[in-house]
Structure 1
Amino acid sequence: MMLKILFVCTGNICRSPIAEETFRRAVKARDLQRVIQCDSAATHAYHIGDLPDPRTRKNAESHGLKLTHHCRKLSGEDFSVFDYIVAMDNYNMENIQTISARSTGIHQHEDICFLYRKFDPLAQGKRLEVPDPYYGNSEDFEEVYQIVNRCAESFLDYLVDKHHL
């Protein structure tokens, strides 16, 4: 069994690449890379082929991560390839559902398509969105890193339990 996870944000240059890489690190730390793979994508085609935002890469490097992902757009094929499609915010969740409906004729079920921050143990009572740091400063990029890093561990716990990994 191979689980495939896709992290999605607007441009695939800030939130989803760092979510992908923090999750990949968590998977590797538990030696689960043979059963869990991940990738990231955008709901818009603004930055296709580009590396993540330099500020995202700088923040990742400060935490020992190197981002080499080249931005890509979510495609209809992704809905048959990935077991989970994880949105960073409500705007992207709506876009994911629209793309899914256009390409597959169905809306993705909330068991496989959901907001990543629902796995943030510190988000209780808060909006379940990972904020977009694009127009912010280095502290905003650090906040995103901290959120997705917390989510990575909790989401991985969920997958291990649910799929008996």
Structure 2
Amino acid sequence: MAAGSGKSVLFVCLGNICRSPIAEAVFRKMATDGGVVDKWVIDSGATSDWNIGSLPDSRGLACLRRHGTDSDHRARQVTKEDFASFDYILCMDESNLRDLNKKANSVKNSKAKIELLGSYDPEKQLIIKDPYYGSDQDFETVYEQCVRCCKVFLENNP
């Protein structure tokens, strides 16, 4: 899945309908605006299998549209192959991190660097909280965190 000479990043949350598709869309727009999108394979996925095939949450899509971004992503579960093909797997909270590290340990040729996306936040907000049971403002908070984190991640990986 990942490009031979390029770089690759997979954003991950629990269901792949709120946080990770927002992060994917934000990063894709930044890479596009920066003229480097063709150097990247960009995707998102879930640790669970709950929402496979679903569009992102309508509140998340509305938030993205308010910021001039869109997503046509369909939820998918992280596969063992993802650990071998992606350079970076960036997740949203400690539960995602535990699940991903556990799965990575069962993959012989895992090369992915698994990290919290929040580790790139200049405001030091390590955890990107799930907005699913929250308000529109919670989705806006996720968006703002993703913008800060993706900006620093892209600057660190030009």
TM-score with structure 2 length normalisation? 0.93
Match runs of 1:40-79 below 5 Å: 40-79=44-83
- Aligned residues of 2:84 and 2:109 also touching (Cα < 8 A): no
Q: Which 5+ residue runs of structure 1 have no aligned equivalent?
A: 161-165
- Aligned residues of 2:87 and 2:111 also touching (Cα < 8 A): no
2-side partners of 1:115 and 1:132: how far apart?
Answer: 14
SS of alignment partner, residue 69 of structure 2:
coil
Partner of 2:153 in structure 1? Answer: 155
SS of alignment partner, residue 34 of structure 1:
helix
- Aligned residues of 1:97 and 1:107 also touching (Cα < 8 A): no
- Aligned residues of 2:86 and 2:111 also touching (Cα < 8 A): no
Structure 2 residue 92 is the aligned partner of structure 1 residue 88: yes
Structure 2 residue 123 is the aligned partner of structure 1 residue 122: yes
Partner of 2:142 in structure 1? Answer: 144
For this pair of structures, how many residues does the alignment match? 154
- Aligned residues of 1:24 and 1:38 also touching (Cα < 8 A): yes
Q: Identity rate of aligned residues, in percent?
A: 38
- Aligned residues of 1:14 and 1:52 also touching (Cα < 8 A): yes
Q: Which 5+ residue runs of structure 2 have no aligned equivalent?
A: none
- Aligned residues of 2:83 and 2:110 also touching (Cα < 8 A): no
Shift of 1:43: 0.2
Amino acid at match of 1:142: E
Shift of 1:67: 1.3
- Cα deviation code 1:57-84 (max 9, x no counterpart): 1111111111110000000000111011
Runs of 4+, deviation exceeding 4 Å: 105-109
